[in-house]
């Protein structure tokens, strides 16, 4: 504890109270869940960008824990490796070079990208497959792959452009916040692996408090705009950043400034669903009512006679 101001203790893995499951769901895609009997403590991962050294231990740990392998790619002239998030690579160090106009210093901003675990998850709202995306009362948003149909609607719902669809099994993948580890009282693999403790994990309240201390420290060292990234547009996130320039999140490899679920998605998954089905039902109902009121439109014997007369006297 002397070296680092925040160290995650190894929790008791035998503590059954830590476990969570189906009964703790607060949201389930394209379906509803009963009000859970208990409310888990809200958890969060805090990523202190100012402490990140870009070693990618978090990426390696993520691949290891999730038993994923990222194909060896090619160098694109930047440190980002792979170039983008993939169905295997749930987290990615994004390296940005920024010249601070006030100091003329080149600042190397390294942001660990990945699922933000939104309190208001756009992916879950967009998902058409019942139970393919779930949210637990501790805030973790998880993909349930056996229910996933690979439609990519989550990609459209996500304000952070995080989910990736596998070309191998046509299912969506993203960071799980190590829900399987958290369920047995362990922190996420990335947090355990981070050598500078730039990544910490705990209750959301603890993490906010920890962030406050960090922000105070950064302020004292001249970063007057240091702050916490916990965007209210998605009702807060369960992965938060400490940014030295919290007033300009976009300089961190295009971190969304004021992210929110796209209004197009809100319409598509809101009004359109009901108006659409109502319109179809209305047309069908008008048909039924019209038929009941007017009865069928039939050809009369007179019509047939007229046709006969016309055809008979025709030149053919």
Candidates 67-75, 125-133, 184-192, 232-240; binding stretch for other proteins (CB under 8 A): 125-133
Q: Does 299 bind other proteins (CB under 8 A)?
A: yes
Nearer to other proteins, 25 or 265 (CB): 265
By CB under 8 A, name the one of 55, 151, 183, 256 that touches other proteins. 151
Nearest-angstrom CA–CA distance, 245 and 222: 11
Number of neighbouring beta carbons within 10 Å of residue 244:
24
User: 40-51: string of b/e by CB count within 10 Å (b at 16+)?
Assistant: bebbbbbbbbbb
Nearer to other proteins, 18 or 165 (CB): 165
Number of neighbouring beta carbons within 10 Å of residue 67:
7
**Least distance from C-beta 146 to other proteins, angstroms?**
10
Shortest CA distance to 121 belongs to which of 146, 142, 138?
A: 142
CB of 193 within 8 A of CB of 55? no
Q: Does 273 bind other proteins (CB under 8 A)?
A: yes
Q: Does 296 bind other proteins (CB under 8 A)?
A: yes
Shortest CA distance to 152 belongs to which of 175, 177, 171, 133?
A: 171
Touching other proteins, residues 174-213 (CB under 8 A): none
Q: Does 150 bind other proteins (CB under 8 A)?
A: yes
**Least distance from C-beta 61 to other proteins, angstroms?**
28
Shortest CA distance to 212 belongs to which of 1, 62, 5?
A: 5
Q: Does 147 bind other proteins (CB under 8 A)?
A: yes
By CB under 8 A, name the one of 33, 155, 183, 256 that touches other proteins. 155
3-state secondary structure of 83: coil
Number of neighbouring beta carbons within 10 Å of residue 130:
13
Q: List the Cα angle 171/175/180 in 5-degree steps.
A: 95
The CA–CA distances, whole Å, from 120 to 141, 236, 237, 279, 298 equal: 10, 8, 8, 29, 57
Q: Does 30 bind other proteins (CB under 8 A)?
A: yes
Q: Does 297 bind other proteins (CB under 8 A)?
A: yes
By CB under 8 A, name the one of 81, 219, 254, 262 that touches other proteins. 262
Q: Does 289 bind other proteins (CB under 8 A)?
A: no
Residue 131 DSSP class: T
Q: Does 34 bind other proteins (CB under 8 A)?
A: no
By CB under 8 A, name the one of 75, 168, 283, 292 that touches other proteins. 283
Q: How many residues bind other proteins (CB under 8 A)?
A: 54
Q: Does 156 bind other proteins (CB under 8 A)?
A: yes
Task: Give 130's contacts (C-beta < 8 A, 6+ positions apart).
Answer: 28, 29, 30, 31, 147
Binding site for other proteins (CB under 8 A): 30-31, 128-130, 147, 149-153, 155-156, 158, 161, 165, 167, 170, 262, 264-265, 267-268, 272-273, 275-277, 279-280, 283-284, 287, 290-291, 294, 296-301, 303-308, 310-312, 314-316
């Amino acid at each position: 504890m002397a070296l680092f101001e925040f160290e995650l203790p190894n929790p008791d893995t035998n503590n059954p109270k830590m476990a969570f499951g189906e009964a703790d769901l607060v949201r389930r895609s394209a379906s509803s869940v009963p009000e859970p009997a208990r409310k888990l403590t809200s958890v969060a991962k805090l990523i202190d960008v100012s402490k990140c050294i870009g070693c990618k231990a978090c990426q390696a740990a993520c691949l290891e824990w999730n038993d994923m392998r990222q194909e060896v790619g090619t160098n694109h002239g930047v440190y980002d490796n792979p170039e983008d998030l993939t169905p295997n690579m749930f987290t990615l160090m994004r390296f940005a070079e920024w010249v601070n106009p006030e100091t003329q210093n080149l600042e190397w901003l390294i942001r660990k990208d990945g699922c933000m675990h939104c309190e208001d998850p756009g992916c879950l709202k967009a998902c058409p497959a019942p139970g393919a995306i779930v949210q637990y009362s501790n805030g973790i948003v998880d993909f349930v792959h056996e229910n996933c149909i690979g439609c990519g609607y989550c990609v459209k719902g996500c304000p952070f452009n995080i989910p990736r669809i596998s070309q191998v099994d046509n299912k969506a993948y993203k960071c799980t916040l190590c829900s399987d580890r958290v369920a047995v009282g362990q922190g996420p693999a990335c947090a355990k692996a981070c050598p500078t403790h730039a990544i910490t994990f705990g209750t959301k309240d603890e993490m906010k408090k920890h962030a406050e201390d960090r922000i105070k420290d950064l302020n004292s060292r001249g970063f007057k705009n240091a702050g916490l990234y916990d965007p209210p547009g998605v009702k807060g996130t369960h992965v938060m950043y400490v940014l030295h320039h919290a007033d300009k999140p976009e300089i961190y490899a295009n971190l969304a400034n004021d992210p929110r679920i796209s209004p197009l998605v809100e319409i598509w998954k809101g009004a359109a669903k009901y108006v659409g089905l109502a319109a179809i039902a209305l047309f069908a109902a008008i048909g039924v009512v019209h038929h009941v009121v007017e009865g069928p439109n039939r050809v009369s014997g007179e019509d047939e006679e007229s046709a006969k007369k016309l055809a008979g006297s025709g030149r053919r």
